[in-house]
Structure 1
Amino acid sequence: MELSRPIKSLKIYREYLLGSLADVTQEQAEHIPKEFRNNIRWNLGHMYVDAYLWIFSLTGEAEETITKWNSWFGYGTTPNDFTEETPSFEELKKLLISQVENLEERYGDRLDKVYAPTKYEGYTTIGDVLMRVAFHEGLHFQTIAHLKRFSSDVEQH
């Protein structure tokens, strides 16, 4: 399946992000340096949830799983909000890649459909929202790079 341009770009960004995490251990992904309030795992989950939340804010859709996951990865949450049900670091890496295919399948044919503007930024198409998602993920990519640096000396158990 040929991916649409915004979704293809998101896939490339995600592959680059996940490639940068190839040497990150579970312990490093869970570590919260004293200078931060979240860890690598939280950032991955936040990126996953945020993409859907922005699309849903535009389309009016809702999904029970994303609503639940928002309590772990939504704005203002921390790893202190995690439970045994919270997806693992490895699960989140897989989900970030599979989400790209899911977005294409669900929204690829309506990326340019005009909706009422979102209440936050005034976006009117899913394609516009995906550009915002890519920008947002770039910010978190930088945060993850800093977290990697501050977590590099975490020992494996």
Structure 2
Amino acid sequence: MEQTIFNHMQVVRGITEKSIQQIPEELADIVPTGFTNNIRWNFGHIAYIQEKLLFGVSGQKMTLPEAYEVFFSAGTKPANWIETPPSLTAISGELIAQKQRIRDYLPGNLQKRLPEPFTNKAGITFHTLGETFLFSFYHEALHMESIKRIYRAIKN
């Protein structure tokens, strides 16, 4: 079953990687009417939350640049950015590198208990690394749908 889960991660992250490579940089920062975030924020948020859900909550070192928390953590938005955020190319590179770190770290650790239970903003409590990992697929898909909706709004 563990291999099936890792294969699913490859599929989900593969969709994300393909999508970020198809978005022109000049469209990444547009926040259409009715939205609070842009395409760049959503891709960066996917990377940051995945890092937090797998490495941060399990007590491992988070290796994304520290600026990702400032730009892309829950509750942030582009309207509050003071500095220049990472390029889509940089975010893409982080997503690819993160996938490999996950493949190196997680095998055999899905049942590993978190140092302390982690409750997300939706009120869901996780006790194991496997629980946070499985939730991350749902989270990534939600933000990929947001990216699609923002892209459609920009194009229309």
Structure 1 residue 59, shift from structure 2 partner:
1.3
SS in 2 for 1:77: coil
| Distance in 2 of aligned mates of 1:61 and 1:109 | 15
Identity between Structure 1 and Structure 2 (%) = 24
**Which amino acid letter does the alignment assign opposite residue 12 of structure 1?**
V
Work out whether residues 18 and 93 of structure 1, in 8 Å CA contact, stay in contact via their aligned partners in 2. yes
* Normalised TM-score (structure 1): 0.82
Structure 2, unmatched stretches of 5+, are none
Structure 1 residue 89, shift from structure 2 partner:
0.9
**Which amino acid letter does the alignment assign opposite residue 112 of structure 2?**
K
| Distance in 2 of aligned mates of 1:18 and 1:150 | 21
Do residues 83 (structure 1) and 83 (structure 2) align? yes
**Which amino acid letter does the alignment assign opposite residue 14 of structure 1?**
R
Work out whether residues 7 and 103 of structure 1, in 8 Å CA contact, stay in contact via their aligned partners in 2. no
Work out whether residues 7 and 100 of structure 1, in 8 Å CA contact, stay in contact via their aligned partners in 2. no
Do residues 131 (structure 1) and 131 (structure 2) align? no
Do residues 117 (structure 1) and 120 (structure 2) align? no
* Normalised TM-score (structure 2): 0.82
Work out whether residues 71 and 78 of structure 2, in 8 Å CA contact, stay in contact via their aligned partners in 1. yes
Do residues 96 (structure 1) and 101 (structure 2) align? no
Q: Deviations over 1:76-120 (max 9, x none)?
A: 111232523x32111112221221111111232312212342234
Q: Which has the higher strand share?
A: 2
| Distance in 2 of aligned mates of 1:55 and 1:36 | 28
Structure 1 residue 50, shift from structure 2 partner:
0.3
Alignment RMSD: 2.3
Deviates more, 1:61-70 or 1:26-35: 61-70
SS in 2 for 1:52: helix
